[in-house]
Homo-oligomer: A and B are copies of this chain.
Amino acid sequence: MPRKNLAAADNANLDRAAREFPHPGSAPSDPRTPSAPNVDIAGRLRLFAEAFDSQLRRLLAPVGDAPASLVEAVNYTALAPGKRIRPYLVVRSCELCGGSRDRAWAPGAAIECIHAFSLIHDDLPAMDDDDMRRGRPTCHKKFGEAIAILSGDALAILPFELLGRHVPDSGRAARMMLELASSAGWTGMIGGQAVDVQGQSLPPSVELAGYIHERKTASLFAAACRIGAIAAGAADAMVERFGRFGRHLGRAFQIADDVLDIEGSSASLGKPVGKDADANKQSLPRCVGVAESRRLAVQEIRLATAELGEFGSAADDLRALSDFVVVRNY
């Protein structure tokens, strides 16, 4: 299909998605999504997660001697059931830029470790004080606070070891490490979490919610896509393109998360519903309502998929994934 028609189809489908979103209950019976009707993205993600997890398990074997307590806590969190959306973005960005999947496993594992690190520390009593995560006790509930802090620390450092050991081209390795550090650090994810924690004592603000979304989620989604493109040796313009795709996708993902926190069910989220609202967390629906939040999420999805035009049907799974992050029910 020519690019223009694809975009028109996207718009019609997304308008439908906006009306129905988040629509809990429809996804399990029909996991196909409107923009790319021939892609069963939920099924693809499941298959991907299986393949990725066996790579992650291999890459998580310490090179040298690490205390058993840390190894157990790191594996408990990093290998907990999850959708693996971030490593999926790394691997597929790499493939769409002409790189082989094998080049993307370690970079994908690096991104997933950073994500796992953020989950452990965000759940700590001094932060969000969460007891459950992905349907299981959080790391500090299971292993105690000291080991939880340290296993988070280990998962913050390990990505750089993985990239250093497993990316054969040292120029690309150094570039990926810089992408990861700048997106995860104090001007990125960690900075977003600081404002998230401190924003609980402030009145709801679109600006604050946007600041948090941008840094806690969008910057790491963007980095995942950029790192995948770098792994393939893509030109700078392509790295930028994938970065924009990831950033818009990440924003939509986080808005959907905020909406789900209000509208979802506890069983499907794997954590108590309404917890964020209870804690006076900054969130977009608290500022502009659920309907406007949905509209903004769909707008971000539209901006995201607009970056994929040149890839034609090869990027159908990423279009389906883009819809999936706003209609998911988990």
Is the pair A161, B174 in contact by a Cβ cutoff of 8 Å?
A: no
Those of A143-158 within 8 Å (CB) of chain B: 144-147, 149-154, 156-158
A248 adjacent to chain B (CB < 8 Å): no
Task: Collect the chain B residues with CB atoms within 8 Å of residue A2's CB.
Answer: none
Q: Within the oligomer, what is the number of copies of this chain? A: 2
Shortest CB distance A259–B (Å): 25
Shortest CB distance A162–B (Å): 8
A124 adjacent to chain B (CB < 8 Å): yes
Q: With the chains together, A170 CA to B190 CA distance in Å?
A: 25
A74 adjacent to chain B (CB < 8 Å): yes
Those of A62-85 within 8 Å (CB) of chain B: 62-67, 69-71, 74
A175 adjacent to chain B (CB < 8 Å): yes
Chain B residue with minimal CB distance to A153? Answer: B190
Q: With the chains together, A170 CA to B71 CA distance in Å?
A: 31
Those of A174-197 within 8 Å (CB) of chain B: 174-175, 177-178, 180-182, 184-188, 190-191, 193-195, 197
The listed residue with most B CB atoms (<10 A of its CB), out of A64, A126, A144, A186, is A186
Interface of A is mostly: helix
Pick the residue among B153, B171, B186 that contacts A67 (CB under 8 A). Answer: B186
A164 adjacent to chain B (CB < 8 Å): yes
Is the pair A164, B149 in contact by a Cβ cutoff of 8 Å?
A: no
Contacts A66-B186, A164-B174, A170-B175 given; indicate if A181 touches B158 (C-beta within 8 A). yes
Chain B residue with minimal CB distance to A171? Answer: B170
Is the pair A194, B67 in contact by a Cβ cutoff of 8 Å?
A: yes
Pick the residue among B149, B170, B184, B191 that contacts A127 (CB under 8 A). Answer: B149
Is the pair B154, A74 in contact by a Cβ cutoff of 8 Å?
A: no
The listed residue with most B CB atoms (<10 A of its CB), out of A157, A158, A167, is A157
Is the pair B180, A64 in contact by a Cβ cutoff of 8 Å?
A: no
Chain B residue with minimal CB distance to A197? Answer: B146
Chain B residue with minimal CB distance to A167? Answer: B174
Task: Collect the chain B residues with CB atoms within 8 Å of residue A153's CB.
Answer: 117, 121, 152-153, 156, 190
A165 adjacent to chain B (CB < 8 Å): yes
Is the pair A157, B158 in contact by a Cβ cutoff of 8 Å?
A: no
Task: Collect the chain B residues with CB atoms within 8 Å of residue A126's CB.
Answer: 144-146, 149
**Top 9 A-B pairs ranked by shortest CB distance?**
A164-B178, A64-B187, A126-B145, A160-B181, A161-B181, A154-B186, A170-B174, A66-B186, A174-B174
Which residues of A approach B to under 8 Å, CB–CB?
A: 62-67, 69-71, 74, 117, 121, 124, 126-127, 144-147, 149-154, 156-158, 160-161, 163-165, 167, 170-171, 173-175, 177-178, 180-182, 184-188, 190-191, 193-195, 197-198
